[in-house]
Amino acid sequence: MEFRKFSIDGPLEIVPRKIEDERGYFSELFRLDQFRRTAGTTDFVQDNQSLSVRPGTIRGIHFQTHPRAQGKLVRCLAGSAFEVAVDLRRDSPTFGKSVSIVLNSETNNQFWIPVGFGHVFCTLEPRTVIGYRVTDYYSPEHEFGVAWNDPDIAIDWPDVADPDSLSAKDRRQPSLADLPNYFSVVDRQCA
């Protein structure tokens, strides 16, 4: 299992090794000891899954605030998705910057998005299924978002991205400039 870092401290791409033969493959997808050694002490409490029927479906930028802030370990179970983590730690030198990867069911790669980051994705294929494991339970009163197309974040979206696919909630998200100071780099859960 390989852990790849980005230009922004915190998010990780996790690439499992595949052992293949004529029958197919075997892959070890998660090991708590290796994950904690690289990402820090984390406990997962809930698994979520979403299906997006059409390519170009945009979901996010979402996050939860303290005391119910969530880290997310994201994986694509079918299809593929352009995945983005946005640094929302106002005192971070990379505040408002993002990192992105493509997750797909063929490589089984995963994306660790720690507390302090927003998460958004755009599906690249029909019937894309995303699974994610989170570090705290869903809490509607702690769930917030940022506008997916905020020019201060400036995500370089794939051509297939369809603004008409946004939920009503995601069409009304505030700009990064209007977002309160929810997270800090000194927050132990952001490490």
Q: Which of 62, 137, 138, 182 is catalytic?
A: 62
Model confidence at 188: pLDDT above 60? no
State the pTM of this model. Answer: 0.94
Q: Which of 25, 66, 119, 132 is catalytic?
A: 132
Q: Which residues, at least 6 apart from 72, have a Cβ–Cβ distance to it below 8 Å?
A: 111, 112, 113, 119, 132, 133, 134, 135
Q: 108-119 pLDDT, tens per residue?
A: 999 999 999 999
Residue where the block lists tokens 């507390």: 115
Tell me if residue 66 is catalytic: no
Domains of the chain, start order: 2-182 (2.60.120.10)
Q: 22-77 pLDDT, tens per residue?
A: 999 999 999 999 999 999 888 999 999 999 999 999 999 999 999 999 999 999 99
Q: Which residues, at least 6 apart from 41, have a Cβ–Cβ distance to it below 8 Å?
A: none
Q: What local confidence, expressed as pLDDT, does residue 41 receive?
A: 87
Model confidence at 187: pLDDT above 90? no
Tell me if residue 119 is catalytic: no
- Calpha distance 14→111 (Å, rounded): 6
